[in-house]
Every structure is written in structure tokens, then in C-alpha cells.
Amino acid sequence: MKAAIECKPGAKVLILGPCSAESETQMRQAAVQISEMRPDFIRAGLWKPRTRPGHFEGMGERALPWMQQIQREFGLKICTEVANARHVETVLKAGFDAVWIGARTSVNPFYVSEIAEALTGVDIPVMVKNPINPDVHLWQGAIERVLGAGIERVAAIHRGFSFYGNAVYRNVPRWQIPIELKRRLPNLQMIADISHIGGRPEYLLEIAQIAYDLNFDGLMAELHPDPTQARSDADQQVTPAYFRDHILSHLVERRAFSEDGEFNALVEKIRDRIDQVDSDILRLISNRMELAEQIGRVKKKFGVSIFQPPRWEQIVQRLLDDGRELVLSEEFIFSLIEAIHIESIQRQSKQMNVPGEGE
């Protein structure tokens, strides 16, 4: 795998532009305002995969000359989303500099294979957004399908994961998933699509800073000359000036390592304690599972089922209250007890299904 997007050492990749290409004027204004930030790519969607029908589905091929004009006039590279082989052929013919595979496409191996095949023999960056569901294997699989077609310049875009319910951001970031993908594919460039994660302008800075702090290689952000008039994703788009003044200029870049002796001594001391606490947590969880097995045997003896909804509700409420006092977020507490509960049910179920005992 080659570096998908070449940029100066230490610099971050920037992919900026509207959610959708809507008109020649809108794209031109966007390019005029964005060009001074010298992004690596101008983005705009031509074919918009909308979750539900009846919404603006993009300008399609009508937008090609607007994008080409930006490329010629401003010397900026252009990229867009491709969702099938026809899109690939169209944008390659039009001279696009890069493409990305969207979250509703990377979820489907058939589409990814079709796109990868259409890209065979082409040497442009291909960026693969995470699938909408938090499945690192599926994301890795999509990337491998693209690599398998001989495309060497592949990058990943983290845009968060869909969920049902209320949360602060539009998509849950689950940062451990891109981190895990990067562990599996260490040369993969990782870009954070802060707009689709956040869903609102006020969250963009904090998300971008987290991405920087996790050593992401760059950012994708949706910028529109007049977000109030945007025909898709209006709530999350910001003007190029807002992005420059309220996000980009506030981001703190930190180094991945330091040679400083004092720093390393301090960190090592804290890391020892962290390792100790992690081991304690595992030991406690193991105790917790032994208790689950005990209760499983008792339930079996008395012919009682494993799951009692009122008890589960009580556990959740009690731990959420405790968590609040300990300043642990609800989202964290919930995923932690859910993981423990699933394992506990499995352990109880094994006990219940041991033949002979307690019958």
C-alpha cells in the first residue's frame, strides 16, 4: 500500500467542500472561498445516497463541468463519491483526481467489488468510508477488495456509525474502531469526516481535535458558501470562513512521540499504574462471572429463567446513578454493563445447559 494522499511531512490532509454540488455558482463560490486554505482536495457529492426517498438526490452528470472548471481555474484537485461502476467510469472520464466509497456502499461487498473492478489499473487515491454499522471486519474487507483490484493508494475515512436513539453527535464515533483498523493496517491513512460525525457546527472543533490527538492523517469537512440554503446536510455544513476561523486555526497539533526524558519518566510511572488498574478490572470482572455462574446454577435448580427484566432495569439504573457520581458518561456506563451482561448471560446459559446437574 502506498501513501494514498501525498502531503508535506507532518502536514494534515484537508478535504473540503459542500455536501452536494448544487449549482455552478455555489461550486464556484465554494472554491473561491476554500482555495486560500489550499486543501488537498475539493469534495462535492454528485450522486447523493439519501436514507429516505423524496430528498435531493444530487445533480449527477450535470455537475461534472462545474467540478472540472474548479480543477482548471484554481488548480485544485477534485473528488466525489462513487456508488457503482457507472459512477466510476463517468468520473474517471471527467478527470477526477480521487474518489471515495460512501458508508451506504462500503457496507455491501457486491458494490465494493463492482467499484473496485471498475477502478482496476487506475492510480488515483480511493478512500473508503466506514460502513454505517460499527463492523471493523466489513470496513477492512472493503479496503482489501479495493487493494485486491491492484489499487495501491487507498485511505480510510471515519464518518462515525449509525445508531437508533438520542446522542449528542449525529453518528457515534466509536474511536476504537478506526484505531483497531489502523492497528491491522498500519500504513493506511486515516481521515476524520468531522461533519458526518458531528452533525452540527458546534461539535466540529472538538471532534477534529480528538482526531488530531489520535494521530489521524487529516480531515474531511463539509463547507458551503451559504449553509442555510444547502440542499443536503444543511445542519452540519459551515462556511469556509467559519471553518478557517473557528476550527482550523484553533486546532492544536501534537507530536506522536517525544524524546524528552522527564516526559518519558512521568508517562512510564502513570502507565504502570494504568496497567495495574487494568489487571484489577479484569480480576473483578472474572469474579463477577464466577458469581454469574453460581446464580446460573441456582436458577437452574429452581427452574427459573436467566433473564429477569426488572432486575436488569434495576442494575442499569443503579450503575447509571453511580456512574454519574463518579463522572463516567452514560454512554460509557451503558456499553460497559451491556458487555458485562452479555458475557454474564452466556456464562449462566452454559451452567443451565450442563446436563444432569440440579434436575
Task: Give the residues lining the site for ligand PEP (CB under 6 A).
Answer: 19, 45, 49, 81, 102-104, 129, 159, 193, 196
Q: Shortest distance, CB of residue 170 to ligand PEP, whole angstroms?
A: 10
Residue 40 interface partner, choices Mn ion, ligand PEP, none, CB cut-off 5-8 Å depending on type:
none
Residue 225 interface partner, choices ligand PEP, Mn ion, none, CB cut-off 5-8 Å depending on type:
none
Q: Shortest distance, CB of residue 43 to ligand PEP, whole angstroms?
A: 7
Q: Which residue is nearest to ligand PEP (CB)?
A: 102
Please identify, using beta-carbon distances, which residue of 234 and 285 lies nearer to ligand PEP: 234
Please identify, using beta-carbon distances, which residue of 159 and 299 lies nearer to ligand PEP: 159
Q: What is the largest CA-CA distance in the chain?
A: 81
Residue 129 interface partner, choices Mn ion, ligand PEP, none, CB cut-off 5-8 Å depending on type:
ligand PEP
Q: How far apart are alpha carbons 143 and 218 in whole angstroms? A: 18
Please identify, using beta-carbon distances, which residue of 81 and 114 lies nearer to ligand PEP: 81
Pull the grid cell for residue 129: 468510508
Residue 76 interface partner, choices Mn ion, ligand PEP, none, CB cut-off 5-8 Å depending on type:
none
Q: Shortest distance, CB of residue 116 to Mn ion, whole angstroms?
A: 23
Residue 95 interface partner, choices Mn ion, ligand PEP, none, CB cut-off 5-8 Å depending on type:
none
Q: Shortest distance, CB of residue 328 to Mn ion, whole angstroms?
A: 32
Q: How far apart are alpha carbons 207 and 204 in whole angstroms? A: 5
Please identify, using beta-carbon distances, which residue of 97 and 233 lies nearer to Mn ion: 233
Residue 97 interface partner, choices Mn ion, ligand PEP, none, CB cut-off 5-8 Å depending on type:
none
| Residue 256 vs residues 47, 82, 274, 298, 301: alpha-carbon distances, Å | 38, 33, 19, 52, 56
Q: Shortest distance, CB of residue 103 to ligand PEP, whole angstroms?
A: 4
Q: How far apart are alpha carbons 103 and 128 in whole angstroms? A: 8
Contacts with Mn ion, residue ranges (CB under 5 A): 19, 233
